[in-house]
Structure 1
């Protein structure tokens, strides 16, 4: 039987940090496998100038707060940090957490972040090219750091671009995070398998992660969508919760499904 893992993205928007801390503690107590945040500087929904917190300083705090769950960003924006610096930050949080960090990374897309913080937005293709150049630099820096990471830090790549992103997944990722419906997932898994064959990668080494939401954006019921997603090849299922009050009802449902299927 395929191992199923459940993730929670605690979206760090519209909430005081005490509420975020409490949500992470509750999720770990409930038995979630991974707790994610995201790497933005402003809310993605609701009041555009609402409460918000930075990604990587938060992950360091989570590393100290938690003891069992893996932690990571869903996903880090490659544009916001020099690749060598990001590698060192990840290695540091890896040590603080005693080896529980996942480096989730993507090419970036939220234009307001770029404009307000002074990064060049460029084009989607250019940002993907930058990501392709950054990933081997991150891996190279990990080999030079003293102390070295506690383990091979798992790399999660988010995104569904069929020509560039999925090729990067085939070359570098331990986890691929996807969005979209069941048919889209099946089709993109087929394309990812083709990229793996081209670059000489064993497809079975890549964990398939998916956001579980229905067409209205609400978390889907696990017994309705879980079995088909699992049959398609997904094994990491991530729900989200947002501020100001983090409702973990859907998380409980997915954990129950994982434990009782």
Structure 2
């Protein structure tokens, strides 16, 4: 798979105009994918600071951008009915002209659940809910009129070895991993074992994705050797400094 560079423009501690400007600058910089995240409060910094909702923002980004893929890294499965999420994805797919990545995860940030009235449950129950949601999402997408413009790539984030990676093996086109390169290698091998069990060649069908916070000279080689092809740099508001992004885009272009 070709090397791609993403940015996660974290929708926290900024006015929306600053977020819009960061999206413009990131697309102009040459990134391949622009992500946000699906939370209702900041994850760090002032816990009650400025924050905006994920999917309404993706609709705006679909109109604002013209080249990059867009998506959530990742949508919390708990916050929306799976059929509704599928129809939201189909709609943003059309608005963007076929540039949406549907990122989904089981959810973990308890403050979101408590403040918005969702049942937090347990890690096991949330993963089970994700597993049951994925076929429902696929069924609803298949039933939409008009149909989506393409097969909407599904990204699943998480690394639970027995359950989450099984869901990835069954349903994902991309897998976003957390942890160091050793963890990535171990979990990637486990993912491929799940793939063999469900009859999918996940080594070739599931793109590996990681977040990076160091220059490519320090980490890129070993991550590529471990199978990663999508590298995403997280950017915090209000400044959304793209210096590291420019380094990764230049590295990508040098590989080509």
Relative to the length of structure 2, the TM-score reads 0.98
Give the structure 2 partner of residue 239 of structure 1.
233
Give unmatched runs, 5+ long, in structure 2.
none
Question: Following the alignment from structure 1 to structure 2, what is the Cα–Cα distance between the partners of residues 253 and 196?
Answer: 34
Give unmatched runs, 5+ long, in structure 1.
213-218
Task: Quote the offset at 1:179 in angstroms.
Answer: 1.1
Q: Does 1:99 align with 2:101?
A: no
Question: Following the alignment from structure 1 to structure 2, what is the Cα–Cα distance between the partners of residues 220 and 48?
Answer: 25
Question: Following the alignment from structure 1 to structure 2, what is the Cα–Cα distance between the partners of residues 245 and 257?
Answer: 23
Give the structure 1 partner of residue 123 of structure 2.
124
**Alignment partner of 2:245: what SS?**
helix
Give the structure 2 partner of residue 177 of structure 1.
176
Q: After the TM superposition, which parts of structure 1 deviate over 4 Å for at least 4 consecutive aligned residues?
A: none
Task: Quote the offset at 1:221 in angstroms.
Answer: 1.3
- 1:194-213 per-position Cα deviation (integer Å, ceiling 9, x unaligned): 0000000012011000111x
Question: Following the alignment from structure 1 to structure 2, what is the Cα–Cα distance between the partners of residues 29 and 226?
Answer: 23
Give the structure 2 partner of residue 220 of structure 1.
214
Question: Following the alignment from structure 1 to structure 2, what is the Cα–Cα distance between the partners of residues 151 and 143?
Answer: 11
Task: Quote the offset at 1:3 in angstroms.
Answer: 1.1
Question: Following the alignment from structure 1 to structure 2, what is the Cα–Cα distance between the partners of residues 143 and 221?
Answer: 41
Question: Following the alignment from structure 1 to structure 2, what is the Cα–Cα distance between the partners of residues 13 and 4?
Answer: 28
Question: Aligned runs of 1:56-135 on 2, under 5 Å?
Answer: 56-135=55-134
Task: Quote the offset at 1:54 in angstroms.
Answer: 0.2
Question: Following the alignment from structure 1 to structure 2, what is the Cα–Cα distance between the partners of residues 59 and 178?
Answer: 22
Q: Does 1:164 align with 2:158?
A: no
Question: Following the alignment from structure 1 to structure 2, what is the Cα–Cα distance between the partners of residues 196 and 189?
Answer: 10
**Alignment partner of 2:228: what SS?**
coil
Give the structure 2 partner of residue 216 of structure 1.
none
**Alignment partner of 1:238: what SS?**
strand
Task: Quote the offset at 1:224 in angstroms.
Answer: 1.5
Give the structure 2 partner of residue 215 of structure 1.
none
Task: Quote the offset at 1:170 in angstroms.
Answer: 0.5
Task: Quote the offset at 1:109 in angstroms.
Answer: 0.2
Give the structure 2 partner of residue 205 of structure 1.
205
Task: Quote the offset at 1:118 in angstroms.
Answer: 0.2
Aligned residues: CA RMSD: 0.6
